[in-house]
Amino acid sequence: MKAFSFPVLLFVFFAAGCAHSPDPAASLAPPVAPPQVQQVPVVSDSVQIPSPPPEMTVKSETKNADEYGDIEVSDKVSEEAKAEIADPLEPFNRAMYHFNDKLYFWLLKPVAQGYGKVVPKAARVGVSNFFANLAFPIRFVNCLLQANFEGAAAELGRFTVNTLWGVGGFLDPASSQDINLSKQDEDFGQTLGAYGIGQGFYINWPIFGPSSPRDTVGLVGDTLLRPFTYLNPWYAGTGTWTYDRVNDTSLNIGDYESLKGAAIDPYVAIRDAYVQYRLKKVNRKGGNIPAEDSGLPKK
């Protein structure tokens, strides 16, 4: 296991870059992007982008010149962050994008639609709640690793309340107005990001979809903390994971289509949305990202 993990970590280190804070001067300078690098504007509050990872550039624009050449300070201070990621594997990634696209339209979507017709939405939401509750160890451990003790306590509370009063997690009383314990959407990829490890480059995995070396290592960590990984025989765990995916897809049919339909180059749009989404998650400590900030187009 050690012999395997060392080259993986070495690979991640070189691929992702060192864990250091970017030079502020360099951050404000115009990004010098290689041909593969794409830029995505990210609008967010200034306080929510404390120290972007190395490959992310933050640009502030608080002053505008008017038609007379005077500098005017706008009332609404906007801050634009540009998230970019190298894509040296673009031919492979584009091939995997097409593979995943076909997998979605030819297999996953029809199965999810059929499942959605048979199973009422309330039951599917219950199943989704159940699997989310089952993934509690991932969120709890990563809250602790990010020293987000308040988030860890909220997760522990959520797990207790939802398991005991949510009929094993099928219901979500913890999110009710009375209890109001919001889900801390944390994973290992975010934890690595919080420690300053950059995304590295873009990888589009078959089946698993958009990722990066950092998030791929994170995915391995998340998988180890997911209880149904340990189901025996192995195909029971795989089947459970597949069912979870089908169930989730049945509740989100149309999201992918919207993103794809709105984009001139869907591959680039998905890559950019992914980078933007992950950046937001790394920068945001605890809680879910609102749908309008997720990078997905509104329905």
Partner 1 sequence: MKIIKFIVIIVFVILMAPGRAVAGGPFGPPQPIAKEAGGIHTGIGYWFHEDKYINGTEQVTRQNQIYSELGYGSRNGWEITARVGMSDLKLIDAFSSSTASTATSKMDFEEHGKFFSTVGAKGFYPFNKTFGMGAFIQGTYYFSDFTDNVSGNRNGVPFSVELAVKNLWDVNFGMGFQATVPYGIKMYIGPYVHYSELKVSPSADVAGIALASGETTMKNKTVLGGFAGIEVPLAKGFRLNLEGQYTERLSAGAAVLYVY
> Which residues are at the interface with partner 1 (CB under 8 A)?
161, 164-168, 171, 173, 176, 178-179
Q: Which is nearer to partner 1, 169 or 189 (CB)?
A: 169
Q: How far apart are the first and last CA of the chain?
A: 46
Classify residue 240 as exposed, middle or buried by CB count within 10 Å of its CB (0-12, 13-18, 19+): middle
CB of 27 to partner 1, least distance (A): 44
SS3 assignment, position 20: coil
With contact defined as beta carbons under 8 Å apart, do 180 and 137 qualify?
no
Give 70 or 178: the residue with its C-beta nearer to partner 1: 178
SS3 category, 183? coil
**Torsion, Cα of 290, 293, 298, 299 (10° steps):** -40
Q: How far is it, in rounded angstroms, from Cα 75 to Cα 186?
A: 35
Q: Which is nearer to partner 1, 88 or 173 (CB)?
A: 173
The CB density around residue 136, as the number of other CB atoms within 10 Å, is: 21
Instruction: Please state the closest distance from residue 129 (CB atom) to partner 1, in A.
Output: 13
Q: How far apart are CA 206 and CA 22, in angstroms?
A: 32
* SS3 assignment, position 178: coil
Tell me how far, at minimum, the Cβ of 258 lies from partner 1, in Å: 32
Rounded to the nearest whole angstrom, what is the least distance from the CB of residue 127 to partner 1 in the complex? 16
Query: CB of 178: closest distance to partner 1 in angstroms?
Result: 4
Q: Which one, 58 or 134, has the nearer CB to partner 1? A: 134
How distant is the alpha carbon of residue 254 from its chain centre?
A: 18
User: Least distance (Å) from partner 1 to the CB of residue 184?
Assistant: 19
Q: CB 120 → partner 1: shortest distance, Å?
A: 15
Q: Which is nearer to partner 1, 5 or 176 (CB)?
A: 176
The span from the CA of 53 to the CA of 193, in Å, is 7
CA proximity to 248, closest of 163, 121, 150, 144: 121
Task: For partner 1, give the closer residue by CB, 126 or 196.
Answer: 126
Which CB sits closer to partner 1, 83 or 161? 161
The Cα 169–Cα 132 span in angstroms is 8
CB-wise, 159 or 201, nearer to partner 1? 159
Give min distance, CB of 179 to partner 1, in A. Answer: 5
Element (H, E) at 72: strand 71-83
